[in-house]
Amino acid sequence: MTDLLSQSGVSLTSDALIALRRLALAAYANPPVVALPGGFMTRKRGQGVEVADAREYVAGDDIRHLDRGTTARTGRLHVRQFQEERDRVSLLVADFRAPMFWGVRRAFLSVAAAEVLALIGWHLMESGGRVGLLAITTGAPVIVPPRGRTRGMLAVIGGLVQAHGRSLTSLRNGQDEGRPLDRALETVERLTRSGSEIIIASGFDKPGDGLADRLDRIAHRRRPRLVLVTESKTDEMPRGWYPMRLSDGQQKRVYLSGGRARNKDLYHQTIATHSALVLNASDPVEDTSRRIAAAFPERIAA
């Protein structure tokens, strides 16, 4: 049993998540907007170091911002306007509850969720943001405060590996609190300030009756972004009986007869009135990285 749980796709290792940095950066055609933590580019004019445009001088403008080139060309005083830099803080939320520990082909949903968050986190870090972690486990959560630079991302990866191993061990020993997702997200608002991004990677099984209200409260001052990690290729499995664990914690055998899914959006779904990006745990990590690059743009406009 120990050897089985240590296999690739079942266990989670720091080396594998660190190696995703190359894939995360290769998926983006443009270079990062800022090279150091502390801000990300917006279209909002304000105090910053990037010039947005120039306009005519009006009484009260800071004379230190005079645009000599434009002033010389037009014969009238002009001042430069700058693009404001804002601190980009993102909290990665990893769902490592019991329903995430299964998979059909390449990896457990829990491992795929960690890979997704690592890919997003590496991109955010390289873009100059600060990244933190809330890892929901079968017991106490693992929390990593938001930090910038590579050291901050390595701390997030360490938290992911620790939390995943903790849940895997608890499930092997038959320990599971069975907490619904809405209750597990109670600490999100306390961990982040207004304006932060909250990126939740989950299968959204056993969501709880209050998930819609919880996400609406988060969205009031923050930006929740949902990533549904699923296994959509069960139609390719051989026909037969398979052991399944239901959302209420009960176990039963389910017969899969094959066939193709019909009228199903393979890219986006709505979860608790919020749009979610759908990613398949069976897909190669390279494909997942490209999908994430398309869904999480380099620049965030105010």
> Domains plus CATH for the chain?
2-34+87-295 (3.40.50.410), 44-85 (no CATH)
- pLDDT, tens digit, 9 for 90 and up, residues 97-143: 999 999 888 999 999 999 999 999 999 988 888 999 999 999 999 99
Q: Is 2 exposed, middle or buried (0-12, 13-18, 19+ CB in 10 A)?
A: exposed
List the chain pLDDT tens, one digit each, 302 residues.
456 566 778 899 999 999 999 998 887 654 444 333 344 444 444 444 455 578 888 887 887 888 888 888 888 888 887 655 456 899 999 999 999 999 888 999 999 999 999 999 999 988 888 999 999 999 999 999 999 889 999 999 999 999 999 999 999 888 888 899 999 999 998 898 888 999 999 999 999 999 999 999 999 989 999 999 998 654 455 566 666 665 556 666 665 555 444 434 567 889 999 999 999 999 999 999 988 988 876 544 33
What is the DSSP code string of 84-152?
Answer: EEE--EEEEEEE-SGGGS--SSS--HHHHHHHHHHHHHHHHHHTT-EEEEEEE-SSS-EEEEEE-HHHH
> From CA 175, how far away is CA 158, in angstroms rounded?
23
Question: Any idea which residue has 């001088």 for tokens?
Answer: 57
For residue 58, is it left (φ>0), alpha (ψ between -120 and 50) or beta? beta
pLDDT attached to residue 68: 86
pLDDT attached to residue 119: 95
Contact 91, 133 (CB under 8 A): yes
pLDDT attached to residue 56: 86
CA atoms within 13 A on the CB side of 126: 20
Question: Any idea which residue has 């398949």 for tokens?
Answer: 280
